[in-house]
Amino acid sequence: MGQGSVALVLLVASAAACASPAASMFAGDVRVALRHVDAGKQLSRPELIRRAAQRSKARAAALSAVRGRGGGGARFSGASEQQQQAPRGTPVRPSGDLEYVVDLAIGTPPQHVSALLDTGSDLIWTQCAPCTSCLAQPDPVFAPAQSASYEPMRCAGPLCADILHHGCLRPDTCTYRYNYGDGTTTMGVYATERFTFTSSSGDMLNVPLGFGCGSMNVGSLNNGSGIVGFGRNPLSLVSQLNIRRFSYCLTPYASGRRSTLLFGSLADGVYGDATGPVQTTPLLQSPQNPTFYYVHLTGLTVGARRLRIPESAFALQPDGSGGVIVDSGTALTLLPGAVLAEVVRAFRVQLRLPFANGSSPDDGVCFMVPEAWRRASSTTSQVPVPRMVFHFQGADLDLPRRNYVLDDHRRSRLCLLLADSGDDGSTIGNLLQQDMRVLYDLQAETLSFAPAQC
């Protein structure tokens, strides 16, 4: 983003400050760095993936709960009876235990905040002082009293009514409660504030946004100070800034390289780092679960054989059950139990390896590697595995080996980075998307992807 674009950004943002935050728009594009929540912890790849798989379990249970409320014969795994009987149309967000952090600043003068990126929820929020109940976080808690631009939103203001649980306990001040499926909850004042994003080029974007200033927060914020929702509902960053395109390129957890997030018009394209062809598939929407980004998955291939899984196994049903979500906040790729069983069967037949005894659920599905491989002195040795292809409407994703297989040399295992979704829905997780440029085009309603060196 050049200096001219930045000047226009600030001019537009200043004009928008007196208007609805939802009407804010900006010119130019923003490129910011993302870091994994476990970056810098000196953990091996198996340890990093094991930790991410544990976080995926809570997210899978919450996704199962929200999809199950539509009915459709969904079965439950980890969802309580109360969750199963919750009224239809009551939103559940996956969890506060997410995977990638974006650094930004809030207020005038700016105060640093580490916010978790979530394509599966909408609210933008951070913990605020004075805090009645606050979670551990890496940054000082945001202090609205020290900001000249902080302003509580009026109850009649835009966005307040878009919060399902909102109220006016204080005179003409919008208060909110926002729940995630893993039990994480934030409560406080919904307000307007200046948000600053620093692009990797050093340019800055400063815009007014509606956000939750949480003074009572419980649950989990994994190495973050808040959450930036990138979902499709009005409260999200995407909706408030009228972002038509956003893109990310996620690096492998143990690579040491920063992932990147781009948003704006992206009119000049995003595929300069692509190492292969760009493929495109339509985005689908569910009126019952409008936050999520759904795609049309038609089938799977393991090795040279397309599996005999009916396309209906991946279909988004009219009542909101089923379907396939693309999600940055879930590590593992989650499949319905019957689909996962068919995939595992195909791998076992082609690998000709026994299942690992006593493997933990956090490992996914694991096989014991041959004695010859166990004796190999090099930890870079790899058992040959069948290729895996995800077939979408109009696009085939032929996966690199490391995106769906974990070589755990220490325990002499080979594990699939797949798990049971707990219902009839599926989730494309971030491990499957690593070293891939992914573009969400909300104007064309498409998802595009290409292999890349992020």
Instruction: Write the DSSP string, 51-73.
Output: HHHHHHHHHHHHHHHHHHTT-TT
Does 85 score more than 50 pLDDT?
A: no
Distance, CA of 126 to chain centre? 17
Q: Give the residue among 136, 112, 126, 130 at the shortest CA–CA distance from 219.
A: 136
Q: CA distances (Å), 341 to each of 59, 230, 277, 407, in order?
A: 21, 32, 31, 21
* pLDDT grade for 14, boundaries at 50, 70 and 90: very low
Name the residues annotated as catalytic: 118, 327
Q: Which domains does the chain have, with CATH numbers?
A: 3-60+91-264 (2.40.70.10), 273-451 (2.40.70.10)
Please give the share of the chain, as a percent, with pLDDT higher than 70.
Answer: 83
pLDDT at 19: 40
CA distance 94 to 179: 9
CA distance 202 to 272: 20
Residue with tokens 């895996």: 388
Model confidence pLDDT, tens digit, residues 254-299: 888 889 999 988 988 899 889 999 999 999 999 888 999 999 999 9
Task: Give just the sign of the alpha carbon dihedral 160, 163, 168, 173.
Answer: negative
Residues in contact with 143: Cβ distance below 8 Å, sequence separation at least 6, in sequence order: 111, 128, 129
CB 395 within 8 A of CB 436: no
| Beta-bridge partner residues of 355 | 367
How far apart, in Å, do the first and last CA atoms of the chain sit? 19
Task: Give just the sign of the alpha carbon dihedral 328, 379, 335, 82.
Answer: negative
CA distance 186 to 235: 15
CB 187 within 8 A of CB 216: yes
pLDDT at 359: 59
Beta-carbon count within 10 A of 432 CB: 23
Model confidence pLDDT, tens digit, residues 132-156: 998 989 899 999 999 999 999 998 8
Beta-carbon count within 10 A of 103 CB: 16
Residue spans of beta strands (DSSP E) within 94-225: 100-106, 111-118, 124-127, 151-152, 165-170, 173-179, 185-198, 204-218
pLDDT at 97: 65
pLDDT at 418: 95
Would you call 32 helix, strand, or coil by DSSP? strand
Which of the two residues, 453 and 382, has the higher pLDDT score?
Answer: 453
CA distance 151 to 162: 18
